C-alpha cells in the first residue's frame, strides 16, 4: 500500500475555480477525498466535471485555489503529484502506431516501473481486461472499447495511489464494465482512492462511497448515496432515488421532459 494511506486526504480541492475567457467553468470548489474512498462526480453535460478532473491531473491550471494529491500541490509540485495518480480520459487518444504492449512499456518507463514489477503486472492487467493475445497489434486496429481498456491498463500499471477516471464505462462492453467495477472496488478496499465522473447514475449508486453532484460549475450537493436520497425525500418525494435527488439538485424538472416530448411530436 502506498505511503500516503495514513494521511487524512488523498485528494484535496481548496477554493478551486476555473474560468475560460471570463466564463466560469468551476467555481469555489472545496472537496476532500479520503484514502480508500470511491468518489463519484455526476452532473449534466457542461457542468464542469471533466474540467475538475483535468485540473486535478495537471492538464489544466486552476484560475484560483490549489489542488493537493497525496499532499503534493499539483501546480507547485506537479511531477511528484503525478507520480501518485493514474488517469484515463473520456476518449482515450492513444498512439495509433504503437502496439498495445509498446504503449504499456512506454507508460511503465514514464512512471519508472521496475523491470521485475512490469514483468508481473503487464501480463496480469492484459489478462484481466481481455487484451491478452492482441497486445502485439498496433493500436490503430483496436476498437474504442479496447483502447479504453488499454488506457486503463496503462493507468493502473504503476499502482497509483489515486485513480482519476473520466466516464470510465463509456465504450466498454458489459463484461468489461463489470470487470472494471469489481477492480475499482477492490482497489479502494486496498486503500487506493478512485475519483470518477459518470453520467450513469446506477454506477454511481452501486459503486461510490460518496457522490458529488455538479451543477453549473458548483458542487451543489455531496454525500453518500443514502444522504442524497434522504435529501430528495425531504423535498417531498417519498420514494426518492439518486436520480430524483440529481434532478432536484440540478434543477431539472419533469416539465422539461414533457417539453421534450412535445417537441418530438411537432
Residues forming the site for other proteins (CB under 8 A): 54, 57-61, 79-80, 82-83, 85, 87, 89, 93-95, 97-99, 101-102, 105-116, 118-119, 122, 135-138, 140-141, 154
Which one, of 110, 49, 47, lies nearest residue 79 by Cα? 110
List, as one string, the DSSP characters of 69-132. ETTEETTTTHHHHHHTEEEE-SS----TTSBHHHHHHHHHHHHT--HHHHHHHHHHHHHHTT-T
Instruction: Return the DSSP state at 138.
Output: B
Provide, rounded to whole angstroms, the least separation between the CB of residue 70 and other proteins: 12
Core vs surface per residue 51-82: b (16+ CB within 10 A) or e: bbbbbbbbebebeebebbbbbbebeeeeeebb
Provide, rounded to whole angstroms, the least separation between the CB of residue 223 and other proteins: 29
CB of 114 or CB of 174, closer to other proteins: 114
Provide, rounded to whole angstroms, the least separation between the CB of residue 212 and other proteins: 21
The H-or-E segment that residue 257 falls in is helix 254-265
Provide, rounded to whole angstroms, the least separation between the CB of residue 263 and other proteins: 21
Provide, rounded to whole angstroms, the least separation between the CB of residue 2 and other proteins: 14
Can you read off the three cell numbers belonging to residue 142?
A: 483496436
Provide, rounded to whole angstroms, the least separation between the CB of residue 106 and other proteins: 5
List, as one string, the DSSP characters of 145-173. HHHHHHHHHHHHTT--SEEEEESTTTT--
Contact (Cβ atoms closer than 8 angstroms) between residue 16 and residue 160: no
CB of 40 or CB of 89, closer to other proteins: 89
| 241 vs 38: CA distance, rounded Å | 19
CB of 135 or CB of 229, closer to other proteins: 135
| 94 vs 75: CA distance, rounded Å | 25
CB of 97 or CB of 254, closer to other proteins: 97
CB of 63 or CB of 252, closer to other proteins: 63
CB of 98 or CB of 177, closer to other proteins: 98
CB of 90 or CB of 244, closer to other proteins: 90
Contact (Cβ atoms closer than 8 angstroms) between residue 61 and residue 25: no
Provide, rounded to whole angstroms, the least separation between the CB of residue 194 and other proteins: 16
Amino acid at each position: 500500500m502506498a505511503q500516503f494511506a495514513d494521511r487524512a486526504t488523498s485528494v484535496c480541492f481548496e477554493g478551486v475555480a476555473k474560468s475560460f475567457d471570463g466564463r466560469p467553468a468551476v467555481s469555489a470548489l472545496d472537496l476532500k477525498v479520503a484514502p480508500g474512498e470511491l468518489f463519484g462526480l455526476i452532473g449534466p453535460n457542461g457542468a464542469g466535471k471533466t474540467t475538475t478532473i483535468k485540473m486535478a491531473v495537471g492538464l489544466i491550471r486552476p484560475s484560483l485555489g490549489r489542488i493537493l494529491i497525496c499532499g503534493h500541490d499539483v501546480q507547485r509540485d506537479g511531477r511528484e503529484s503525478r507520480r501518485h495518480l493514474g488517469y484515463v480520459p473520456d476518449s482515450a487518444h492513444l498512439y495509433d502506431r504503437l502496439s498495445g504492449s509498446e504503449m504499456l512499456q512506454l507508460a511503465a518507463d514514464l512512471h519508472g516501473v521496475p523491470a521485475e514489477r512490469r514483468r508481473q503486472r503487464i501480463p496480469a492487467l492484459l489478462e484481466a481486461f481481455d487484451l491478452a493475445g492482441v497486445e502485439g497489434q498496433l493500436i490503430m486496429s483496436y476498437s474504442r472499447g479496447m483502447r479504453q481498456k488499454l488506457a486503463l491498463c496503462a493507468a493502473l500499471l504503476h499502482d497509483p495511489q489515486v485513480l482519476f477516471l473520466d466516464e470510465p464505462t463509456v465504450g466498454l462492453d458489459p463484461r468489461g464494465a463489470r470487470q472494471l467495477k469489481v477492480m475499482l472496488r477492490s482497489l479502494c478496499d486496498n486503500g487506493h482512492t478512485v475519483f470518477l465522473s459518470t453520467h450513469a447514475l446506477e454506477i454511481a449508486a452501486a459503486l461510490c462511497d460518496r457522490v458529488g453532484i455538479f451543477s453549473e460549475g458548483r458542487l451543489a450537493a455531496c454525500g453518500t448515496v443514502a444522504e442524497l436520497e434522504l435529501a430528495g425525500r425531504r423535498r417531498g418525494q417519498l420514494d426518492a432515488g439518486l436520480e430524483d435527488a440529481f434532478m432536484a439538485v440540478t434543477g431539472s424538472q419533469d416539465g422539461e421532459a414533457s417539453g421534450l416530448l412535445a417537441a418530438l411530436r411537432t
